[in-house]
Structure 1
Amino acid sequence: MSTGRDQVKLTPAEVQGLLEENLKVQVAANGRDGFPHLTTLFYVVQEAKIAFWTYGRSQKVLNLERDDRVTALVEDGTDYFELRGVSIEGRAEIVRDPDRIFEIGSAVATRMVGADSFESLGEIGMQAVQKQATKRVGVIIHPDRVASWDHRKMT
């Protein structure tokens, strides 16, 4: 017998679709005082994992260096019967390789502005990404547990 939870759960293909349709992820890391530190970031999906870039000296990176456990939430919908989302608990890999940081940052910047390619950002946009990459790290979330829901399946 299926539960109500099973009825609204997304299939793996639906999870992938939701992640590819949305631009922002809410990321919670454990702060040193025990409270969750929550931020919203632009992201990309690479090899079925959420990846983003952020300043290397940011509080979220300090938290992830201390404790790599992370929860990420991608959701959308406004009305109750439209709500859908994916919550991912996992481990954060901090990427410090300059080429990989640039790769993640280029993909995020391209996706943020809805461009067809990194080159379509133009010379100024591409230079801005290159400059930012020197101050940033990449973060890849390796999922341990994924929960999902789609309230549209309730109707």
Structure 2
Amino acid sequence: MNQRARIAMSDDEVTAFLEGSRKVQLATINPDGTPHLVTMFYGLDEGRIAFWTYGKAQKARNLARDPRVSCLVEAGDDYDELRGVLVYGLAEQVDDRDRVLGIGMAIARRMTPGVPDDLLTPYVEQTGRKRIAYVVERTKVVSWDHRRLT
């Protein structure tokens, strides 16, 4: 078995890693072809990475033109602790307002663990008026867990 295969996570491990993490590095494509990279909190929608943003944000303008994204979720400080999941996919805009707010709640829960929903709901409803949400349909997943190297 080659080293790449040895450090790859199983599907269940990828799922657990995404469920247990909070932030994603999201790359979209600028009009000139360069990457636009931002770190954001995310939620999960039926196991898929979901995020929201203001409708006028650069990432939203990029996605309206080209829905391709890369999503990196990583952990670890030292080389032998590095773990990560890189999801390539297409960001599909969510149009249903209730679903947008549901994604907003999932994100808010990750941003503020332990805060009760009744305190998060007013924030999500207020900020959600100007936000749009996306769900990433995976086209490819790459994962690694360097703890397996020891």
TM-score range, shorter chain: over 0.9
Number of matched residues? 150
Residue 138 of structure 2 aligns to a residue whose secondary structure is: strand
Runs ≥4 residues deviating over 4 A: none
CA distance in 2, matches of 1:44, 1:115: 15
TM-score under structure 2 length normalisation: 0.96
User: 1:32 is aligned with what amino acid?
Assistant: P
User: 2:59 is aligned with what amino acid?
Assistant: K
Name the counterpart of 2:146: 151
Compute the displacement of 1:117 (Å). 4.7
Equivalence map 1:30-109=2 (5 Å): 30-109=29-108
Name the counterpart of 2:135: 140
User: 1:153 is aligned with what amino acid?
Assistant: R
C-alpha distance after superposition, 1:81-131 (max 9, x if no partner): 000000011000011321111110011112210026522xx2xx4212101
Question: Would you say 1:111 and 2:110 are equivalent positions?
Answer: yes
For the 8 Å contact 2:44–2:103, the answer to whether it is kept is no
Residue 92 of structure 2 aligns to a residue whose secondary structure is: strand
Residue 107 of structure 1 aligns to a residue whose secondary structure is: helix
RMSD: 1.1
Q: Which runs of 5+ in 2 are unaligned?
A: none
TM-score under structure 1 length normalisation: 0.93
